[in-house]
C-alpha cells in the first residue's frame, strides 16, 4: 500500500467521522432546539396564566377596595342624615312654647317628684328661659324650690342632697332615650329595611 492510499483512507475515515459528528451534532442541536422551544412555549403559557391570575387578583382586590370605600361612604352619609334628623327633632322640641310647653314641663315635674316622696330638700333646675314657668309650676309642691339653670332644651333636673338622688327628666334625656331605643326603626323608615 502506498502512502497516498493510506492518506486517502485516513481522509475518507476523517470525512466519514466528520459527517457522522456533524450529523449527530445536527440531531443533538435539533433536539436541544426543540426542547428549548417546548420549554419556551410552556413558559409562555405558564407566564400568560400567571399574568392572567395576577390581573384577575388585582381586579378582585380593586373591586373589593372600591366596594368597601363605597360602603363606608354610604354609612357616613347615613350617619350624617341621622344626625341631621336628630338635630331637627331637637330643634322642633326646643321650639315648643306656650300652653304645650307648660303642660309637658308640668308632667315632667310630676313624674320626677314621685321619686322624691318624703324628701324635703328637692331642688329643680331647668332651661334658663323656663325659669318663670318652673317657679310658677313649683308653687304647688311644698319643699321643692327652683335651683337655677341647667343646660338643656327644656324639661327638668331634680335632685336632693340629703337623698343623694338626681332625676334627669329633660327633653334632651328623653330624646336620647327614645333615639337609642328607636334608632333601628328610624333607620328603616329613612333607608328601608335593606340597609
Phi, psi of 126 (to 5 degrees): -165, -175
CB-based contacts of 103, cutoff 8 Å, min separation 6: none
All cell numbers assigned to 152? 338643656
**Count of positions (residues) in the chain:** 195
Averaged pLDDT of the chain: 83
User: Distance of CA 71 to CAs 15, 60, 68, 74, 146, Å?
Assistant: 81, 16, 5, 5, 50
Asked if pLDDT for residue 86 goes beyond 90, the answer is no
pLDDT value of residue 69: 83
Confidence of residue 108 (pLDDT cuts 50, 70, 90): very high
Compute the distance between CA of residue 17 and CA of residue 136 in angstroms, rounded to an integer.
Answer: 130
In the predicted model, is pLDDT for residue 105 greater than 90? Answer: yes
- Look at residue 15 and tell me whether its pLDDT is greater than 70: no
Where is pLDDT greater, at 51 or 97?
Answer: 97
Residue 18's alpha-carbon distances to 14, 15, 64, in angstroms, are 6, 5, 66
- Residue 17: the pLDDT is 59
Confidence of residue 161 (pLDDT cuts 50, 70, 90): confident
Helical ranges in the chain per DSSP H = 3-94, 98-113, 131-138, 171-191
CA separation for the pair 131, 123 (Å, rounded): 13
Q: What are the cell numbers at 39?
A: 420549554
Of 8-12, 111-115, 125-129, which range is least confident?
Answer: 8-12
**Grid coordinates standing for 99?**
300652653
Q: What does the block give as the cell for 195?
A: 340597609
Whole-number pLDDT of residue 49: 77
Q: How far apart are CA 130 and CA 174, in angstroms?
A: 17
Q: Which residue has the higher pLDDT, 125 or 161?
A: 125
Q: What is the pLDDT of residues 22-46, one digit of tens each?
A: 677 777 777 777 776 777 776 777 6
CB contact set of 21 (below 8 Å; sequence gap of 6+):
none
Confidence band for 98, pLDDT divided at 50, 70 and 90: very high
pLDDT tops 60 at residue 170: yes
Beta strands across the sheet bearing 165-170: 144-149, 122-126, 155-160, 165-170
Statement: the pTM of the whole predicted model exceeds 0.75: no
Phi, psi values for residue 146, rounded to 5°: -80, 130
> Which cell numbers in the block locate residue 145?
324650690
pLDDT of residue 159: 94
Amino acid at each position: 500500500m502506498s502512502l497516498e492510499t493510506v492518506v486517502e483512507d485516513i481522509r475518507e475515515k476523517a470525512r466519514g467521522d466528520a459527517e457522522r459528528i456533524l450529523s449527530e451534532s445536527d440531531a443533538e442541536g435539533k433536539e436541544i432546539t426543540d426542547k428549548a422551544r417546548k420549554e419556551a412555549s410552556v413558559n409562555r403559557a405558564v407566564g400568560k396564566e400567571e399574568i392572567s391570575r395576577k390581573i384577575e387578583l388585582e381586579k378582585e382586590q380593586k373591586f373589593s377596595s372600591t366596594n368597601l370605600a363605597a360602603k363606608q361612604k354610604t354609612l357616613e352619609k347615613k350617619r350624617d342624615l341621622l344626625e341631621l334628623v336628630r338635630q331637627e327633632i331637637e330643634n322642633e322640641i326646643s321650639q315648643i312654647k306656650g300652653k304645650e310647653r307648660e303642660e309637658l314641663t308640668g308632667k315632667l315635674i310630676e313624674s320626677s317628684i314621685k321619686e322624691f316622696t318624703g324628701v324635703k330638700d328637692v331642688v329643680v333646675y331647668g332651661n334658663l328661659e323656663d325659669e318663670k314657668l318652673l317657679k310658677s309650676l313649683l308653687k304647688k309642691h311644698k319643699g321643692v324650690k327652683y335651683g337655677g339653670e341647667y343646660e338643656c332644651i327644656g324639661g327638668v333636673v331634680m335632685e336632693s342632697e340629703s337623698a343623694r338622688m338626681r332625676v334627669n327628666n329633660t327633653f334632651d334625656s328623653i330624646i336620647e332615650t327614645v333615639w337609642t331605643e328607636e334608632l333601628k326603626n328610624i333607620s328603616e323608615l329613612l333607608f328601608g329595611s335593606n340597609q
